[in-house]
């Protein structure tokens, strides 16, 4: 007898089926795409991005134009944010992808909360959710500048996909319009807690459960010495064999999200990823990462050209995915 899945969206049913299993790792090449001299090399870069995104679903960007000092400043601010007292952070509880949460994100793949805290910045929803200048001087300005820089890189990559998909070049830029109150792209700071000694061999202690992202494109920043990210290419979902993506401060790791998979009739592949616990002998301290999620504005209609997926607004789509992850927090 089969049990009906509680999830309406195919993506969520797939996540639930993925489960927490699979510890095998397979070395796969992670394509690195050099964005230098972008305007002159646009055609060549577009071909490389397309190949990486259609064959694998994840890739890394080098020479993306964001200075290393700015990435390091964002991480320094993130550490200061998470070092604030719990009661201070609790003034900014998460709602609609904005604010702070701790131990509350339950991925359908694992059914247990990720052992992390995170703080999401979704600009039009941030009233009352930023630390004050007294609490954390310079935080808001540094984070907004970092989001601006990440957005610009994300839009460049998406403009290449627009060319290949037969949309006009600015199609995705218009769909991620920061100037409107329907904007819902999110900058997310993540802090995975240090691993307590008594849980180091417990299977139900999960740093980050397997999932695909809800958005169009994710830009992920990792720190040297704080690895753990593993990916499983979209086409090889059933194999559940994971490939580590070691941190490199100079690179941005990208993956395609489910919005773009729908928008491209599955030509661009979203991919599963997770954050595994450190293995015995590895660094057991905290892990910080930063993700920028290019999420289409709430009123953008994600219509799959062939009609494979029924049209849905990006607002409704995201709400459905968030509800499945945070009970009653959307």
Ligand X SMILES: O=C(O)CCC(=O)C(=O)O
Query: Residue 206: which of ligand X, Fe ion, none does it interact with, CB under 5 to 8 A by kind?
Result: none
Rounded least distance, CB 53 to ligand X, Å: 17
- Degrees, nearest 5: CA angle 223-226-230: 100
CB nearer to Fe ion: pick between 46 and 184? 184
* Among Fe ion, ligand X, none, partner that 296 touches (CB below 5 to 8 angstroms by kind): none
Please, which residue, 35 or 254, has the CB nearer to ligand X?
254
Grouping H, G, I as helix, E, B as strand and the rest as coil, residue 99 is strand
189 binds ligand X (CB under 6 A): no
According to CB under 6 A, which one of 159, 289, 295, 298 is a site residue for ligand X? 289
Binding-site partner at residue 217 among Fe ion, ligand X, none, CB < 5 to 8 Å by type: none
213 binds Fe ion (CB under 5 A): yes
Q: Is 191 in the site for ligand X (CB under 6 A)?
A: no
Q: How far is the CB of 190 from ligand X (least distance, A)?
A: 5
CB nearer to ligand X: pick between 159 and 289: 289
Cα angle for residues 306, 311, 312 (degrees, 5° grid)? 150
Helices and strands per DSSP (H, E), number in the chain? 8, 14
Edge-to-edge, what's the strand order for the sheet holding 116-121?
32-34, 58-62, 252-256, 217-222, 287-294, 186-192, 116-121, 99-102
The residue nearest Fe ion at its CB is 213
CB under 5 to 8 A by kind: which of ligand X, Fe ion, none does 275 bind? Answer: ligand X
What is the spatial distance between Cα 81 and Cα 197, in angstroms, rounded to a whole number?
25
In this complex, which beta carbon is closest to ligand X, that of residue 66 or of residue 245? Answer: 245
Q: How far is CA 127 from CA 92, 95, 101, 124, 184, in A?
A: 10, 11, 17, 8, 14
Tell me how far apart the alpha carbons of residues 270 and 213 are, in angstroms, rounded to a whole number.
7
- Give me the phi and psi of 292, to 5 degrees please: -115, 120
d(CA 67, CA 64): 9
The closest residue (CB) to ligand X is 289
Task: Find, among 81, 80, 97, the residue nearest to 89 by Cα.
Answer: 81
Residue 229 interacting partner from ligand X, Fe ion, none (CB closer than 5 to 8 Å by kind): ligand X
Task: Select the span of 3-11, 106-114, 210-218, 313-321 touching Fe ion (CB under 5 A).
Answer: 210-218
Residue with tokens 């090399």: 41
Footprint of Fe ion on this chain (CB under 5 A)?
213
Footprint of ligand X on this chain (CB under 6 A)?
188, 190, 208, 213, 220, 222, 229, 273, 275, 289, 291
């Amino acid at each position: 007898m089969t049990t009906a899945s509680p999830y309406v969206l195919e993506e969520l049913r797939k996540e639930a089926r993925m489960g927490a299993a699979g510890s095998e790792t397979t070395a796969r090449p992670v394509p690195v795409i050099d964005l230098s001299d972008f305007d002159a090399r646009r055609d060549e870069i577009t071909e490389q991005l397309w190949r990486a995104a259609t064959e694998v679903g994840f890739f890394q960007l080098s020479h993306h134009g964001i200075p290393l000092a700015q990435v390091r400043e964002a991480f320094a601010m993130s550490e200061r944010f998470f070092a604030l007292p719990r009661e201070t952070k609790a003034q900014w509880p998460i709602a609609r992808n904005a604010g702070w949460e701790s131990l509350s994100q339950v991925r359908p793949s694992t059914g247990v909360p990720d052992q992390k805290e995170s703080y999401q910045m979704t600009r039009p929803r941030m009233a009352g959710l930023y630390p004050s200048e007294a609490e954390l001087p310079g935080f808001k300005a540094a984070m907004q500048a970092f989001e601006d820089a990440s957005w610009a890189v994300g839009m460049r990559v998406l403009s290449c996909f627009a060319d290949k998909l037969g949309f006009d070049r600015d199609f995705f830029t218009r769909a991620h319009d920061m100037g409107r109150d329907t904007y819902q792209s999110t900058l997310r700071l993540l802090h995975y807690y240090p691993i307590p000694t008594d849980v180091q061999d417990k299977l139900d202690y999960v740093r980050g459960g397997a999932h695909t992202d809800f958005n169009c494109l994710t830009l992920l920043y990792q720190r040297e010495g704080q690895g753990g990210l593993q990916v499983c290419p979209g086409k090889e979902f059933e194999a559940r064999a994971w490939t580590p993506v070691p941190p490199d401060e100079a690179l941005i790791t990208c993956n395609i999200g489910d919005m773009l998979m729908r928008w491209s009739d599955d030509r661009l592949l979203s991919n599963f990823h997770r954050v595994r616990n450190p293995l015995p002998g590895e660094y057991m301290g905290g892990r910080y990462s930063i993700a920028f999620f290019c999420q289409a504005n709430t009123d953008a209609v994600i219509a799959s050209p062939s009609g494979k997926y029924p049209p849905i607004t990006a607002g409704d789509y995201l709400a459905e995915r968030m509800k499945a992850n945070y009970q009653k927090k959307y």
